[in-house]
Amino acid sequence: MNQALLINFCGIGIITLILHSYFKRGLALTLNFFLFAFMLTFTKGGEHSFKFMILAKAGPQTIFPAVISTLIWILSFYLSWCIAEKVVERMPYFKNRVFPVLFFAGIFVATFAYAIEAAAINIGGWNAPVVNGNEFLLIPFYVVKRQFYFSVYFLAAYFLIACSEYKNKDWKIVFFILPFINTWIPQFFGLGLAQFIKEILTLIILLLLAFRSPLRFYPAGTKQSSGGVFLKTELVDLLPVAVMVILTFILFFIDTVKLHDMRLLVSLLPMGFFILLAIKRIPLFWITFIALLCLVALKKLAIPAMLPVGLLVLFQLIIKSSFIKNNSFSQ
Amino acid sequence: MDLKIVLLICFFSIFIFIVHSYFSRGFRLTFNFFFFAFLVAIIKEGPMMINGILVKNPTMPYEFLTKNTSVMIETMLAIVGWVFTIYLGWYIANRIAQRLGVWENRIFPVVFISGLVTASVGYAVEATAIGIGWWQWTIEDIRLAGFLAGGVPLIVFETWTHFPTQYLLMPYSIIECSRFKRASWKGIFFLIPFVHSVSTQFRPELIRTSIEHIALIILFILAVISPLRFEYSGVRRPSLRWNLNLKLLESLPMLIIMMLVLILVFLDLIKIHNAQLLISLLPVIFFILLAIKRIPLLWIVFFALLCPLILNRQALVAVVPVTVILGFKILARIKAG
C-alpha cells in the first residue's frame, strides 16, 4: 500500500470521525480534540511537539511519514474515546465516569498500535524492531507501552480540561502539563529508573482513580448539532464503527494478501475483541468464550487478545465484590 | 556577581510580578500567563540541562562559562530569565501604549512593542553577561557587528523578539485577553507557537527563519491595522488589603526594571570596567522613559538624537524605541486626519 493511498484513507477516516464528533459532541469539543491531537502527534509518531526545540533539530523530518503517523494517531485517539465509552457502558457503575473511559481508551490505543505496528514493521513502512524480547507479542513490548502512556496523558489532559467539571475552573489549564510530563521525564532523566517509576505510578494512580474517583463527563455547555433529516442518531453512532471495521479489513488484507503471513492476524485479535466489547448486544459471556478459545488455539500469542476481555471481567468482579461488601454504593 | 544571586533576584522579581499581575488582572489571567511563560521557557531552555548532563557534544548556540555553578542553576536562570523579561516587556509596552492615542489598549501594538522591549533588555543583559564572562555565543554572527556594543550578535535581537511575542504574548493575548476569549474555537490560536515549534523540525533552516521573520512582519501589519482590543470584562480582580496602595502596586515592575538597569550599570562600570558597555543600556533606558507618561516625548526624542551624535554608530540602536513610537504617532495622525 503506497503512502498516498494510506494518507487518503486516513484522511477520509478522520473526516468521518470529525463529523461524528461534531454531531455528537458539538463544535467546541470537536475542534479542540482534533486540533490538540494534531499538535501533539505531528511528526515523530507523536512525540515531537513537546520536545525541546533545539534537541528536536537533531532529526530532520520528511513530510510524508510525519503526516501518516499524525493521521493514524489522531484516528486512534478518537476511536479509543468512542470504543472506551461503549465498553464502559457495559458496567453501569462506571458509566459516564472519566477515568474508567480513560483507562480503557489507553488500552485500546495500545491494541490499535499493536495491530498497526505489526503490519507496518513487516511491510517495511517504518522503524523495525531492534529485539523482540517477549513471546507474547509479535513486536517489542515498549512500542505498545509507549502508545498506551502517550494516549493516556493526552486524553487525561483533554478530558480534564474540556469534558469534566473542571472546565469552568480558572486554573484548569494546569492539566495542560500532563502530556509534557510524559515526554519530559525520559528526556530529562533517561529511559531508566525514572521512566519506570513514572509508568508504574501512572498505572497505579489511573487504576485508583478509575475505581475511586466519581469525576464524570460534564455535558453542560456543549452544543450538539442536529444531524438533520438525513443523519439520524443511530447512523451517526455507526460512523466510528464503520471506520473501525474498514480499518480492520485493510489490516487483514495487508497481513494476508500483501505479506502472506497469517501469523500477523494474531495482532488483530485484541482490537477485534475491543470491537466486540463495544457492541453491547453481544453478551460478555460469548466474547469471553471466544477469547478462551483463542487462548487454547494460539496459546501464548493469544494472551494480549485476552487483555480487553480479562480487564472488563476483572473490573466487573471487583465492582460486584465491592457491592457485596459495602452493599451501599450508588450507581 | 554570582549566578545564584542573579537567580535569587529573578525569583524575587517574578514574585513581585505575580503580585502585581494578581491585583491588576486577577487570578485567572495571572495563573495562565505565568503557567505558559514557564512552560515555553522550559521547552526552550531545557536542552541546556540535557546537553550538560546527558549529551557530551552540546548543540546549544551558547555556553555558560562559570565554573562553580551547576547546570541546574544555569538552566533555571535561563528559564526564569525568560519569564522575568517577558512580563517586564509586556508591562512596559502596556504603559507605552498609553501614549499612542488610537492604539491605546490595542493588542497587536502592545505585543509588537513588547518584542522590542524584550530585545532591548536582552541586548543590555547579553552585553554585560558576555563582558563579565557568564556565557558566550558559540555561533558566528557578524551581521551589523559594528553597530552593536559588547560583541552582542544580531541573533540575540531576533531571539529576544521572536520568542516572547510568537510563543507567548500573541497567543496568550488573543486567547485570554481579547473578545475571542469567549469563542469556542479560540484554541486555534495555539497554532501560532506550534507552527514555530514545528518549523525547527524541517530542513533547510531557512524555513524556520523565514517563518519567524514573516510572523514579525505580520505582527507589525496587524499592529497597524487590527482594531483588536484588550478586553478584561468578566475578570475578577481581588480587593486590595493591608492598606496596599494601588499606585505603588502599579509601579512595582517599574522599580524592578530600574533596579535591573542599576545592577547592569554597576557591573559594567565597577566589575567589568568597560564604560562602553553602557551603550547597550540605552535602548532599554529609552523604553523606560517612554513608559513614564509625564516625560514629554519631545524631550525623549531630543535625548535619543543626541546619543548617535555623541556616541557614533553604536548608539544608533538607541534611536529605535523612539523611532517606533514616533512612527505609531505619525500613523495615528494620518488615520485621524
- Phi/psi at A162 (5° precision): -105, -25
User: Residue B112 and residue B220: Cα distance in Å, rounded?
Assistant: 6
Question: From the CA of B200, how many Å to the nearest CA of chain A?
Answer: 6
Q: Which three cell numbers stand for residue A86?
A: 461503549
Tens digits of residue pLDDT in A306-321 = 889 999 999 989 988 8
Q: Which three cell numbers stand for residue A250?
A: 485493510
Least confident of A93-102, A139-148, A229-238: A229-238
Handedness of CA B319, B325, B327, B333 (dihedral sign): negative
Contact A53 B32 (CB under 8 A): no
Mean pLDDT is highest, among A56-65, A114-123, B113-122, B132-141, for B113-122
* Structural domain contains residue A301: yes
Handedness of CA A99, A105, A109, A110 (dihedral sign): positive
* Structural domain contains residue A329: no
Q: Which three cell numbers stand for residue A69?
A: 503517523
Chain A contact for B238 (CB, 8 A cutoff)? no
pLDDT band for position A117 (50/70/90)? Answer: confident
Least confident of A246-255, A284-293, B151-160, B197-206: B197-206
Residue % of chain B over a pLDDT of 70? 92
Averaged confidence pLDDT in chain B: 87
Is residue A56 over pLDDT 50?
no
* Structural domain contains residue A77: yes
Cα angle A14, B36, B187 (rounded to 5 degrees) comes to 30
User: Residue B200 and residue B105: Cα distance in Å, rounded?
Assistant: 33
The beta-carbon neighbor of A53 closest among B43, B188, B203 is B43
* Structural domain contains residue A20: yes
* Structural domain contains residue A142: yes
* Structural domain contains residue A327: no
Strand B135-137 relative to strand B62-64, pairing:
antiparallel
User: A108-137 burial string, b = 16+ CB within 10 Å, else e?
Assistant: bbbbbbbbbbbbbbbeebeeeeeeeeeeeb
For residue B201, list chain A residues with Cβ-Cβ distance below 8 A: 43-44, 48, 56-57, 59-61, 66
* Structural domain contains residue A326: no
Do A48 and B198 form a contact (C-beta atoms < 8 A)? yes
Tens digits of residue pLDDT in B253-296 = 999 999 999 999 999 999 899 888 999 999 999 999 999 989 99
Q: What is the pLDDT of residue A57?
A: 44
Handedness of CA A182, A27, A5, A259 (dihedral sign): positive
User: Residue B283 and residue B289: Cα distance in Å, rounded?
Assistant: 10
Averaged confidence pLDDT in chain A: 82
User: Residue A202 and residue A252: Cα distance in Å, rounded?
Assistant: 33
User: Residue B33 and residue B30: Cα distance in Å, rounded?
Assistant: 5
Contact A52 B43 (CB under 8 A): yes
Residue % of chain B over a pLDDT of 90? 49
Chain B contact for A131 (CB, 8 A cutoff)? no
Ranges of each domain in chain B: 3-336
Which of B268, B278, B284, B313 lies closest to B114, judged by CA? B284
Question: From the CA of B201, how many Å to the nearest CA of chain A?
Answer: 5
- Phi/psi at A97 (5° precision): -90, 145
Is residue A59 over pLDDT 60?
no
How many other CB atoms sit within 10 Å of the CB of residue A280?
A: 11
For residue B200, list chain A residues with Cβ-Cβ distance below 8 A: 53-54, 56-57
Contact A28 B188 (CB under 8 A): no
pTM: 0.87
ipTM for the assembly:
0.83
Number of domains observed in the structure of chain A: 1
Contact A63 B202 (CB under 8 A): yes
* Mean pLDDT for the stretch of residues B169-180: 94
Q: Which domain holds residue A44?
A: 3-321
Least confident of A117-126, A256-265, B20-29, B140-149: A117-126
Q: What is the pLDDT of residue A1?
A: 57
B153: left (phi over 0), alpha (psi -120 to 50) or beta: beta
Beta bridge partners of B62: B137
Chain A contact for B188 (CB, 8 A cutoff)? yes
Q: What is the pLDDT of residue A98?
A: 94
Do A88 and A95 form a contact (C-beta atoms < 8 A)? yes
Contact A56 B201 (CB under 8 A): yes
Separation of first and last alpha carbons in chain A = 48
Q: Reduce the DSSP state of residue A97 to 3 states and report it.
A: strand
Q: What is the pLDDT of residue B204?
A: 66
